[in-house]
Amino acid sequence: MQIINLPDYTIKWVISFLKNRKFPVKINENYSDKKESLSGVPQESKL
């Protein structure tokens, strides 16, 4: 993002949006403990 000269505040906002995202996994009717997502973006999210 720095290569395309986005302002620092935009870069910080994107990092904040994607950081510390946690979710459970459902198998049949059981949910796991929430785990942090290590890659990707939230489904149907709008940047």
pTM above 0.75, yes or no: no
Residue count of the chain: 47
Instruction: Kindly report, residue by residue over 10-32, the tens digit of the pLDDT.
Output: 989 888 877 878 888 899 999 99
Contacts of 11 by beta carbon, 8 Å cutoff, 6+ apart? 1, 2
> What is the torsional sign of CA 8, 14, 17, 21?
negative
The share of the chain scoring above pLDDT 90, in percent, equals 30
| Distance of alpha carbon 31 from alpha carbon 39, whole angstroms | 20
Q: Which two tokens stand for residue 6?
A: 């986005």
